[in-house]
Amino acid sequence: MSRKPDPAPGSRPTLEAVAARAGVSRATASRVVNGGAGVRPPLVDKVRRAVEELGYVPNHAARTLVTRRNGAVAVIIAEPEFRIFSDPFFEQQVRGISRELTAHDSQLVLLWVEGPGDYDRIGRYLGGGHVDGALAFSVHNDDGLPSIIGRAQVPAVFGGRPGWPGASGTPGGPAVPYVDADNRGGAREAVRHLLSLGRERVAHIAGPRDLTSAMDRVDGYRDVLLDADPGLIAQGDFTEESGARAMAELLARRPDLDAVFAASDLMASGALRVLRERGLRVPEDVALVGFDDMTSISEATDPPLTTVRQDVEGMGRLMVRLLMRVLNGQETEPGTGSAPGSVITPTELVRRASA
Amino acid sequence: MSRKPDPAPGSRPTLEAVAARAGVSRATASRVVNGGAGVRPPLVDKVRRAVEELGYVPNHAARTLVTRRNGAVAVIIAEPEFRIFSDPFFEQQVRGISRELTAHDSQLVLLWVEGPGDYDRIGRYLGGGHVDGALAFSVHNDDGLPSIIGRAQVPAVFGGRPGWPGASGTPGGPAVPYVDADNRGGAREAVRHLLSLGRERVAHIAGPRDLTSAMDRVDGYRDVLLDADPGLIAQGDFTEESGARAMAELLARRPDLDAVFAASDLMASGALRVLRERGLRVPEDVALVGFDDMTSISEATDPPLTTVRQDVEGMGRLMVRLLMRVLNGQETEPGTGSAPGSVITPTELVRRASA
C-alpha cells in the first residue's frame, strides 16, 4: 500500500494536538475524526470539541495514513472498449459513479476487459494495493472477474445482480453486495402496457443469456404471457445491430406479430430500422417498447420510444455509497462479517409515441 | 510504491538460479532479463544462455520488484466525461493505447478531468506511486494538468504538441515528449484540394483556440490562402453542434462561399446538416472537407466526407512506445537526462464524395 502523504503545512493543527487537548490517545482521536464508531460517546464529544476549538481540518494525506486508504476506486466494466464507447448505458453509469466518487474525494480509475487474457493483469493491479475498492459491472455469468476480484481481496460492489455460481442467491454462497433495477417488474409493466393497447401477439427481443438483467426481463415477459409461443422470443446481445437481426428473425417466424418488447433501447432502435425497411408502421402496425430510457436514443428515434426507465446514473451513485459503507464497516467493525444489503431500484414506464 | 508480488510457484527456476548458472551477480542477471542495457555483451550472452537452459520465465511480480514498476499506466484525458464518450476520436486513441499497453503487459487505468476541482485529487493519485507513467491528451494551453503531472514527478508523454507556457517549443522550456499528427501539412493539403476543384471562396471552421492541433490547422489554411477574408473563418470547439453553429455564422457572413474546410469530421457533420437545411447541395454548391477520418462519421454522412486522415490509433500506440522508452531510459541510463524525441505522424487526404 502506498504511503507517501504530502507533509501537512506547518501552520495547521495536527491530530496529535487534537488528541492532547481532548485528553485521549491519538488512536481514539483518529477514530472519531474518521466516523467515531466504537468510541464511547463522552470521548467522541471531547474530541469533537477539541476539533472545533483548534480548527482542525483532517487533510486527505493524514486521512489516508489513518484509514490506510489510497483515495482511489477502480471501476471495471466487463466489456471490450468498443462496447463501452458505443452504448450510452455505460456513459450514464460511469457518470453517476464519477460524481459520487468526487463527492467522496476518491479518484475514479476506469478499467475494462477486452478478453480473458486481461484477467491476470487486472488481478495483479487490484491486488497491488493501488485502490480501496472496485465497482464492477456488466459481469456475465461465466466471467472470471468475480474470482479475480475475490482473490485480490479488494472490497467490491457489483452493478447488476450476480448470476455466477457461488454468488449470493445461491444457497450458501457469499453475500455479494450489488445494485440493480427491478428488471422483472419493469418487463412485466412493458408487456402489460402493450396488452392494454389491444395487442395480441407480443414478441420479445432478449438480451444476453448470461446476464441476469436480460434473463430477469425475459422472466417478466413470461410472467405476463404464460403461454407465449417460444417463436415470439428472439435473442439479441443489447447492441443495435443484434436488435435489427432479431427483428428480422421474428418477422420471418411470425409475420403476424403486432408488438415488440425489446430489452434495451439500442436493440429497439435496431428493430425500428428493420420495421421501417419492411414498410411496417410504428405504432400502427407494430407497437414497440424499449428498456433503459437512454434519452439520446429514446427521444431521438422516429417515432420516439416508449420505454422502461431505469435510473442508471442513480444506480452508479448507489454503487459508490454501498462501497463506502463496506469500506467503513470493515474499518470500524472488524470481524462482524456482515455485508451491507444490496439495493433494487424501481423502474418506470415512460410513454412516448412508439406504443 | 507497491511491493506485494505474489510468491513465485516453487517449481519455477528463479533469477538467483539463472545468476548462479551464468556465474554473474543477481543484479547483472536482472539487468539482462530486463533489457540488458549497460551489461557487457559476453555477460549478456552468458545470462541469456542460462535463461534458456533453465527455462527461466521472468514473471511479472519478479519483474516489478526488479524494475520498481507497478505495471500500470494512467491515461488522462483532459476533457469531461460527456466529451470522451461522444467523440470517436477518444475511443480510437484509447484503443491504440490499450492494445499497446497490453502488449507491454501494463494495465491501463483511465482518468479524466471534469474541471479544475479534479486536479488536486489527480495529483495525489499520480504522486502516490500507483502508476509507472502517464499519457495525457487533449491538454489545453491553460490547463493545470501539465504542472500537476510535473509535480507528481511521474514520467509522461503527451498526445498533441504542448502549447502551454514553458513547454518545449518555448525557448528554454523543458523537453516534453509528445506525439502529434502533421496538422498544418494536412490542413494545407485540404485547402489545396478545394482550390484544385476550382473553388474560390474557401471557408474554415476552426477548433478550440487553446489547442495546438486546432491552431496548426488554421495556420495551414492561412499558409495557402495568405489573404483570406477573416470573415471566412468561424470558431468551433470540435463538437458537432459547434460545427453547425459555425456553418450558420459563415453563411450569414459570406453567403457566396463555395467550399468549407472543417477542422474535425464531427464539425463537418454538423456543417453538413446546416447546409442541407438551407437547401445547399454538397458538393455541387458547397464542397466540404473534414479532418480526422473518423470512419464512423466520414463514411456514414450523406454524401460521405472527403477528409484528412490522421492515424489516431497509431498515435496512441506511439505514445505508449515513447513512454516505455522514457521508462527504460530512466532505469538503464540514469543521469543522462535526455528525453526521447517526439514524433509527428503524417496525414493523408482521403477523397470521398463531399469534395
| Residue B82 and residue B107 share a domain | yes
Residue B10: inside a domain, yes or no?
no
Name the burial class of residue B222, with classes exposed (0-12), middle (13-18) and buried (19+) by CB atoms within 10 angstroms of its CB: middle
Measure CB to CB from residue B81 to each of A71, A98, A105 and give the nearest one: A98
Question: Are the CB atoms for B286 and B333 separated by under 8 Å?
Answer: no
HEC readout, A283-352: CCCCEEEEEECCHHHHCCCCCCCEEEECCHHHHHHHHHHHHHHHHHHHHHCCCCCCCCCCEEECCEEECC
Chain B residues touching residue A70 (CB < 8 angstroms)? 125, 128, 130
* Chain B residues within 8 Å of chain A (Cβ atoms): 1-2, 4, 6, 60-61, 70-72, 74, 81-82, 85, 88, 90-91, 94-95, 98, 102, 105-111, 114, 117-118, 121-122, 124-125, 127-130
What DSSP letter does each residue of B121-185 carry, written as one string?
HHHHHHHTT--SEEEEES--TT-SHHHHHHHHT--EEEES---STTSBTBTTPPP--EEEE-HHH
B139 in the same domain as B63: no
**What residues make up the domain containing B220?**
183-310
Interval A292-342: pLDDT, tens: 999 999 999 999 999 999 999 999 999 999 999 888 874 333 344 445 578
Specify whether A272 is located in the same domain as A124.
no
Does any domain span residue A10? no
**Predicted complex ipTM:** 0.75
Interchain CB contacts (distance < 8 Å): A and B: 104
Q: How far apart are CA A215 and CA A194, in angstroms?
A: 20
Q: Looking at residue B243, which CATH number applies to its domain?
A: 3.40.50.2300
Q: Is residue B200 part of a domain?
A: yes
Q: Which of A110, A111, A313 to mutate to test the interface with B (most CBs of B within 10 A)?
A: A110
What average pLDDT does chain B have?
Answer: 87
A94 lies in the same domain as A25:
no
Q: Is A25 exposed, middle or buried (0-12, 13-18, 19+ CB in 10 A)?
A: exposed
DSSP sequence for A9-76: PTTSPPHHHHHHHHTS-HHHHHHHHTT-TTS-HHHHHHHHHHHHHHT----HHHHHHHHT--SEEEEE
Q: Look at residue B1 in the predicted model and tell me its pLDDT.
A: 39
Q: Is residue A3 part of a domain?
A: no
Q: How far is CA B11 from CA B7, B17, B56, in A?
A: 11, 12, 11
Q: Check A109 against B114: CB less than 8 A apart.
A: no
Number of residues that this document lists for chain A: 355
User: Does residue B135 share a domain with residue B53?
Assistant: no
For residues B152 and B122, state if they share a domain.
yes
> If DSSP codes are grouped into helix, strand and coil, which group holds residue A129?
coil
Does residue B2 sit within a domain? no
Choose between A261 and A46: higher pLDDT: A261
Least confident of A81-85, A168-172, B85-89, B129-133: A168-172
CA nearest neighbour of B15 among B4, B30, B3, B28: B30
Q: How many structural domains is chain B composed of?
A: 3
- Residue B81 corresponds to which amino acid? E
> Does residue B223 share a domain with residue B295?
yes
Specify the pLDDT at position A10: 43
- Whether B35 and B110 share a structural domain: no
CATH classification of the domain holding B19: 1.10.260.40
Whether residue B336 has pLDDT greater than 80 = no
Q: Tell me: the pLDDT tens digits for B99-135? A: 999 999 999 999 999 988 899 899 999 988 899 999 9
B147 shares a domain with B259: no
Query: According to the model, what pLDDT value does residue B173 have?
Result: 53
Q: Which of B125, B131, B151 is the mutation pick for testing A, counting most A CBs within 10 A?
A: B125
A107 contacts B110? CB cut-off 8 A: no
CB < 8 Å to A2, chain B: 1-2, 128-130
Residue A2 lies in a domain: no
Alpha carbon A117 to chain centroid, angstroms: 24
Q: Which residues are paired to A54 by β-bridges?
A: none
Which of B4, B107, B110 is the closest to A129 by Cβ?
B4
Query: Which amino acid, one-letter code, is at B128?
Result: G
Contact A71 B107 (CB under 8 A): no
Decide if B7 is inside a domain: no
Statement to judge: residues A101 and A149 lie in one domain: yes
Per-residue confidence (pLDDT) for residue B9, from 0 to 100 = 41
Mean of the pLDDT values across residues A170-177?
A: 63
pLDDT at B142 over 70: yes
At residue B13, the 3 state secondary structure works out as coil
B167 and B79 within one domain = yes
Q: How confident is the model at residue B33 (pLDDT cuts 50, 70, 90)?
A: confident
Contact B124 A88 (CB under 8 A): no
- Say yes or no: A303 and A318 in one domain: no
The 10s digit of each residue's pLDDT in A118-148 is 998 999 999 888 999 999 999 998 888 998 9
**B355 in a domain, yes or no?**
no
Q: With CB atoms and an 8 Å threshold, state whether A127 touches B6.
A: yes
Would you state the pLDDT for residue A118? 92
